[in-house]
Amino acid sequence: KAGVTQTPRYLIKTRGQQVTLSCSPISGHRSVSWYQQTPGQGLQFLFEYFSETQRNKGNFPGRFSGRQFSNSRSEMNVSTLELGDSALYLCASSGQPNTGELFFGEGSRLTVL
């Protein structure tokens, strides 16, 4: 069974640009969550989608957005990039709602110059 797949794995952007990250969950999983991991702030929750609906949102500015498609694949977008957005962005899927049992991808490492 394939795991959670995130693309791209690495990318470099400059301030002011926007970026879109993609996540394919484990087959059959309908819940997809996104987390930001940085050395200073650790792992922080961005948002969670279930059946194309955003169920939870973390404390991030509106520049961070996401969506989920009918096949459960998800994308997150960050607009007007800032240096502080440099981070590892992790996607996680779950087949059992409301359990906290997540399967994580390896992440997309974003560097903003």
Partner 1 sequence: GNSVTQMEGPVTLSEEAFLTINCTYTATGYPSLFWYVQYPGEGLQLLLKATKADDKGSNKGFEATYRKETTSFHLEKGSVQVSDSAVYFCALSVEGAQKLVFGQGTRLTINP
Q: CB of residue 102 vs partner 1: minimum separation in angstroms?
A: 7
Q: Is 3 in the site for partner 1 (CB under 8 A)?
A: yes
Of residues 44 and 86, the one with the C-beta less far from partner 1: 44
Q: Is 52 in the site for partner 1 (CB under 8 A)?
A: no
Query: Does an H or E element contain 103, and which?
Result: strand 103-104
DSSP structural state of residue 91: E
Of residues 82 and 106, the one with the C-beta less far from partner 1: 106
Q: List the strands of the sheet with 5-7, edge to edge.
A: 5-7, 19-24, 74-78, 64-68
Q: Is 105 in the site for partner 1 (CB under 8 A)?
A: yes
Tell me which amino acid residue 6 is.
Answer: Q
- Give me the 69-98 binding string for partner 1, x by CB under 8 A, dash otherwise: ---------------------x-x-x--xx
DSSP structural state of residue 64: E
Number of helices and strands (H, E) in the chain? 0, 11
Contact 108, 10 (CB under 8 A): yes
Q: CB of residue 17 vs partner 1: minimum separation in angstroms?
A: 26
Interface with partner 1 (CB under 8 A): 3-4, 31, 33, 35, 42-45, 48, 50, 55-56, 58, 90, 92, 94, 97-107
